């Protein structure tokens, strides 16, 4: 896969993550006063980083497998296999009623998320403008 396609694919996936994160934040805020409600978070970036890093973590000596049941000492992960996961936060409590949603924190996360979406959209726009410039010449 060439660099342009990979970059655009990663930007598209990042924009998808911000869309899911916006839905999760909105759900958290809507349930801020519901007793025993547990907020959700989105887990994606750390798993994506691990998948992308497997290409650079290839061992100096890769074992040769002589049987299909042998366990390899290295397996490169494809970043496209990383899924967006919603994770419930059971470890914290914000209110006395068991609810762990802090509306102020969720509002900050919503603003950060919106700024991230705008940045990814601008980066995608830049990538396509560069391609358009090359095609015109």
Helices 3-30 and 103-136: angle between axes, nearest 10 degrees: 160
What pLDDT does 79 receive?
86
Residues 6+ apart with CB under 8 A from 10: 79
> Residue 111 to residues 3, 12, 58, 96: CA-CA distances in angstroms?
30, 20, 38, 27
Calculate the CA 63 to chain-centre distance: 32
Share of the chain above pLDDT 70, in %: 91
Of residues 65 and 6, which shows the higher confidence score? 6
User: Which whole number is the average pLDDT over 98-115?
Assistant: 96
pLDDT at 69 over 90: no
What pLDDT does 8 receive?
94
Q: What is the pTM of this model?
A: 0.79
User: Which whole number is the average pLDDT over 40-64?
Assistant: 82
């Amino acid at each position: 896969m060439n660099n342009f396609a990979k970059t655009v694919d990663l930007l598209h996936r990042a924009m998808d993550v911000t869309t899911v994160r916006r839905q999760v934040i909105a759900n958290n805020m809507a349930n801020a006063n519901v007793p025993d409600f547990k907020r959700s978070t989105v887990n994606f970036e750390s798993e994506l980083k691990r998948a992308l890093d497997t290409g650079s973590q290839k061992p100096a000596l890769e074992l040769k497998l002589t049987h299909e049941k042998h366990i390899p000492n290295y397996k490169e992960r494809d970043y496209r296999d990383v899924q967006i996961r919603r994770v419930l936060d059971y470890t914290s409590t914000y209110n006395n009623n068991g609810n762990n949603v802090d509306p102020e924190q969720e509002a900050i996360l919503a603003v950060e998320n919106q700024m991230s979406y705008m940045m990814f959209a601008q980066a995608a726009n830049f990538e396509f403008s560069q391609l358009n410039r090359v095609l015109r010449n």
